Amino acid sequence: MTTDTIRLLDLQFFTLVGDLPHERTTPQPLEIDVEVRVDLAGAGRSDRLADGLDYRELYERVAEAVSADPRNPPRLLETVAERVAERLLALDAVEGVRVRCRKPRVVLPGPSGKVEIEIERP
C-alpha cells in the first residue's frame, strides 16, 4: 500500500441528512473532508495530469454521494460517509480512503459546536 495522499478539505454542501422531522425536509450544511491513498509517483515524475488522479473527479464523486436520492435522504452521517467512500474506492487508482463528515449545526440538549464522524476503508 502506498503512503501518498490527496486531501480535499472543507468541502461544503447543503443537503438533507438527519433523523429528526425537520432534518428530513429542510436542507442543512454538511462539511466533508476526504483523504485518498493513491500512488502519485508517476504523476510527480511526468508532470502530467493523465498520470495522476484529477481532483475534480474526486469532488464530483463526493458531490454525487451527498446528493443521492432526495426522496430518501440518509438519516446518519455514517451513511453519507459510506456512500462517499464507496464512490471514491470505485476509482481504479484509489487504494484506500478516509472520510470525515461534519454537521456544523447539530441539535443537542446543550451548547454545542459541530459533530463529526470519521471512517477509513481499505
Q: CA 93, CA 6: separation in Å to the nearest integer?
A: 12
How many CA atoms within 13 Å lie on the side-chain side of 122? 1
Q: Which three cell numbers stand for residue 56?
A: 475534480
The single residue of 103, 109, 118, 119 carrying the catalytic annotation is 103
CATH 3.30.1130.10 fits 5-121, yes or no: yes
Helix (H) or strand (E) holding 101: strand 96-103
Span 49-90, pLDDT tens digits: 999 999 999 999 999 999 977 788 999 999 999 999 999 999
- Tens of pLDDT, residue by residue over 33-60, are 999 999 999 999 999 999 999 999 999 9
Phi, psi of 73 (to 5 degrees): -70, 155
103 is catalytic: yes
Query: With left for phi above 0 and alpha for psi between -120 and 50, is residue 28 left, alpha or beta?
Result: beta
